[in-house]
Structure 1
Amino acid sequence: MRALSSTFLKRLGAVVTHSTRSMSQSTAIPKKQRRVRDHAYDNYMEVEKKTRRVLKFQSLILAQPSHSLPISRLETLARRAGLTRRDPAGAFLLKFPHVFEIFEHPVQRILFCRLTRHALLQIHQERDALFAQIPRAVTRLRKLLLMSNDRRLRLEHVRIARSALGLPDDFEFSVVLRHPQYFRLIDAEVTRNKYIEVVEVDPGLRTCAIEEVRERVYRFKGGDAEDVRFSFLIDFPPGFKIGKYFRIATWKWQRLPYWSPYEDVSGYDLRSIEAQKRMEKRAVATIHELLSLTVEKKITLERIAHFRMAMNLPKRLKDFLLQHQGIFYVSTRGNHGKLHTVFLREAYRKGELIEPNELYLARRRLAELVLLSPRKAKVDRELVGYRRSRFEDELGPVTRAYVEDPCEDFKGEDGAGQCSDAEDDLSSDVGSDVDLEDEGDDCVDEGVDLV
């Protein structure tokens, strides 16, 4: 009888243990989730895909002393840079008559191409906006360095993300060297790499963007301060399935304390399960802060991977971001699914930035020129004249020194013409473990009530 009772108690204990483990696993946020598409962000990237190619052709034209180029030579340069795939360069320019202008040279009697007056004005506007916000870019760079473990980052990694951070091409001289009270350039003893190091830690820069958002939400909506203290703004995409246990797991995760991205965690014991959970939520806060420091509140996943080791980010970044689809959105549109763009969902509404800045508006102006219908272009059906207007003569040559490298962001599209110093090469020690598998087949179209 005692043996029977002991056996029964063991079985009962096993059942209770199994139920407890099942409940604990079911109330945890699933590690792998199906990616649900949000068409507002995907449409945004479809427009940017066209804009990115237009920028490459613009850089080829503006690299010439006369800011004009024969169509035949443009075809050769575009083919070397890997920009032409199916259509020739001349046919591509004709798709965007508000940006490019094709004319017949009065002396050589061959077809040339140049930028239109509206495109030159957009370049001038973007250049002015870029240099006007350099003080804010200095603050963004200082906060970025404070999030790293050693308060320093590789110069090459910052250079790769310069466009997203609103830094000019010559930021090493115009930003870093011109502000010695904030930054210091050092050379590594072993790897021979240059690093940007923060000179003095300012406690006023340790405030995260999510903390300011929490304060606004608390003042506007009120509620329990304990619920808002460690929470993030969550907005799941349309069609995202959320069940009972997932809702409970999300509620528990929102109340979980974590260390700030600007806090030094080297002195903590991170071997416990509680510490690992805090570090996972700290990684969410770090990526949230990194996106908040960008101009357009978005950045490619490949660029985030360069900061993975320096900021204690997870190894499989894509799966980690898909685990938090209510905070981030990963779009695979552009470059045949090989380019992953991470958006901060709370910063966008219906595919537009909620709080735009001048640099963002200047870049969107180019997208407006790209989207204008060719039928609305006031140009001659055959050719346009060579003579420019007086306004264009007064404007003078506008250089685009901050246009990115013509080969950048086109890796994998065509094998021809890829640059040897391509900045999106993920074969480095930081970005080699990024999962770039396209999950376009995981789209979920069923609607669900999130209330």
Structure 2
Amino acid sequence: MNGRSKGQFLLCNFQQIRTIVKVRLKWVKNRSLDHIIDVQTDLKAACLLKDAIARSSTGYLTSKSLENTQKLLGITVPTLRFIRRFPTLFHEFPHPKWPSLACFELTHVAKLLRQQEMKVFDECQTDLVERLCRLLMMSKSQMIPLQSIHPLKWDFGLPDDFDKNLVKRFPDHLQIVKGTSGLACLKLVQWQEEFAVSELQKSNEKRGLESDNGADGRSAYKYREFKRGKSALEFPMSFPRGYGAQKKVKAWMEEFQKLPYISPYEDSRRIDPNSELMEKRVVGVLHEFLSLTIYKKTKRNYLRSLREELILPHRFTRLFTRYPGIFYLSLKCKTTTVALREGYRRGRLVERHPVARHRDKFHHVMRTGLVYRCKGIEVLPQLDSLIDEAEEDKVEGQSEEEEIETSDECYEAGTSEVESASDED
């Protein structure tokens, strides 16, 4: 019996005494998170172009080959206009045979940054493999098609060739197999019990240890009680301004928090799919998935492609707007992105992964313009301090939310354009 089966008998005997009162909540715009999504859309597109050029046998890409890549890159302007905005990364020159055909190669600084990136991937490979293993452990078959994982490379901080080199380096953890549908799948070789601890459990345990050392004792008590099966862990809540004072919202969330916490690594097949307990389990799965990403966010469609493997309900995206204290749903950049609120504070990541820190260097060179165009390796050591200073300046004076509205109606009635977008299939 693996870790997923632990506690399933307690869960299947759980009886709900009353139905949670739900409150209708209007979507609240978060300007700082929208800004982050906007910035990272360009950063991701530039990194995808950088990887494509690096993969090319000629070392460059022609303007013709980039013509129809706008949608693939997720940008709102034509690719040629986009790539020409960043001469610090991409050098334009005429084709050797056809001078009228524009070509793009990596600049010297971009090549140096890519070399550093490879070193970062090597240093973080154990952590990246653990994230992949935990994703597979949450799935019902411990196996996910590669075509569903490839779009997640950016979010999980994976190298471009993770399905080749990374899998080969860790044969005791991962392997590529042919699924029942005939698709190539990434499979978990063996259940890793030490990985089957959710980020919510880790954070509560950490707070408990800090409390034992002299801070507030409430977290320590709650975690000890949870370990004994006498309590439920609470999700961190960060409501938009004004929600916290609403009595009905507070009562709703308190009832939700009292429900038993079900680890996303436990077997949930015996839980009533229409129960409040199953809803909390789904919230826990989505919370854990977003916690595994290095930016604590992902696109809704990426999650939708994993719906069956993660045992999510058909209209699970409604939960993102039903629990605005946990999730934030954004329509920025003509796509739907979901973020974990606790992952950000004052417009910046609470914890920056080494891969994210390196991407910050890449972005800093992107937006600096011609300053670094002719410079080489002497520029790179300066980037760490420059990025940290820029981040501090950026978060000053940012206003986060706009408007709120509450009523006594059940949330299923729908509340805004965000919910309409999240329900589209």
TM-score between the two structures when normalised by the length of structure 1:
0.68
What is the distance in 2 between the residues matched to 1:180 and 1:96? Answer: 40
Change (3 A) 1:316 1:118: same
Preserved contact between residue 210 and residue 232 of structure 1 (Cα < 8 Å): yes
- Equivalent residue, structure 1, for 2:287: 288
Larger relative helix fraction: 2
1:23-422 aligned within 5 A: 28-30=21-23, 33-59=25-51, 61-68=53-60, 73-74=62-63, 76-82=64-70, 91-102=81-92, 113-189=104-180, 191-218=181-208, 219=211, 220-223=215-218, 225=222, 229-238=232-241, 240=243, 243-266=246-269, 268=270, 270=272, 276-334=275-333, 336=334, 339-372=335-368, 374=369, 377=371
Change (3 A) 1:320 1:106: closer
TM superposition shift of 1:93: 4.2
TM superposition shift of 1:194: 3.2
Change (3 A) 1:215 1:57: closer
TM superposition shift of 1:89: 6.0
Change (3 A) 1:333 1:326: same
SS of 1:149 mapped into structure 2:
coil
Preserved contact between residue 108 and residue 376 of structure 2 (Cα < 8 Å): no
- 2:21 counterpart letter in structure 1: A
TM superposition shift of 1:253: 1.1
The RMSD of aligned alpha carbons is 3.5
TM superposition shift of 1:286: 0.9
TM superposition shift of 1:182: 2.3
Q: How many residues align?
A: 352
- 2:50 counterpart letter in structure 1: Q
**Percent of aligned positions that are identical:** 25
TM superposition shift of 1:261: 0.9
1:324-349 deviation digits (Å, cap 9, x = unpaired): 11111122212x2xx22222211211
1:415-434 deviation digits (Å, cap 9, x = unpaired): xxxxxxxxxxxxxxxxxxxx
What is the distance in 2 between the residues matched to 1:91 and 1:185? Answer: 38
SS of 1:153 mapped into structure 2:
strand
SS of 1:369 mapped into structure 2:
helix
Change (3 A) 1:165 1:58: closer
Preserved contact between residue 50 and residue 370 of structure 1 (Cα < 8 Å): no
SS of 1:368 mapped into structure 2:
helix
Preserved contact between residue 214 and residue 229 of structure 1 (Cα < 8 Å): no
SS of 1:144 mapped into structure 2:
helix
- Equivalent residue, structure 1, for 2:400: none
Change (3 A) 1:40 1:187: same
- 2:69 counterpart letter in structure 1: A
TM superposition shift of 1:159: 2.7
Preserved contact between residue 93 and residue 100 of structure 1 (Cα < 8 Å): yes
- 2:30 counterpart letter in structure 1: D
Preserved contact between residue 129 and residue 358 of structure 1 (Cα < 8 Å): yes
Preserved contact between residue 153 and residue 160 of structure 2 (Cα < 8 Å): yes
What is the distance in 1 between the residues matched to 2:82 and 2:418? Answer: 30
Preserved contact between residue 329 and residue 342 of structure 1 (Cα < 8 Å): yes
Preserved contact between residue 57 and residue 78 of structure 1 (Cα < 8 Å): no
1:347-406 deviation digits (Å, cap 9, x = unpaired): 21122211212101111222222332x4x6366xxxxxxxx88969xxxxxxxxxxxxxx
- 2:284 counterpart letter in structure 1: A
- 1:198 counterpart letter in structure 2: L
The higher radius of gyration belongs to 1
1:54-77 deviation digits (Å, cap 9, x = unpaired): 3354355445445345xxx41x22
What is the distance in 2 between the residues matched to 1:390 and 1:346? Answer: 38
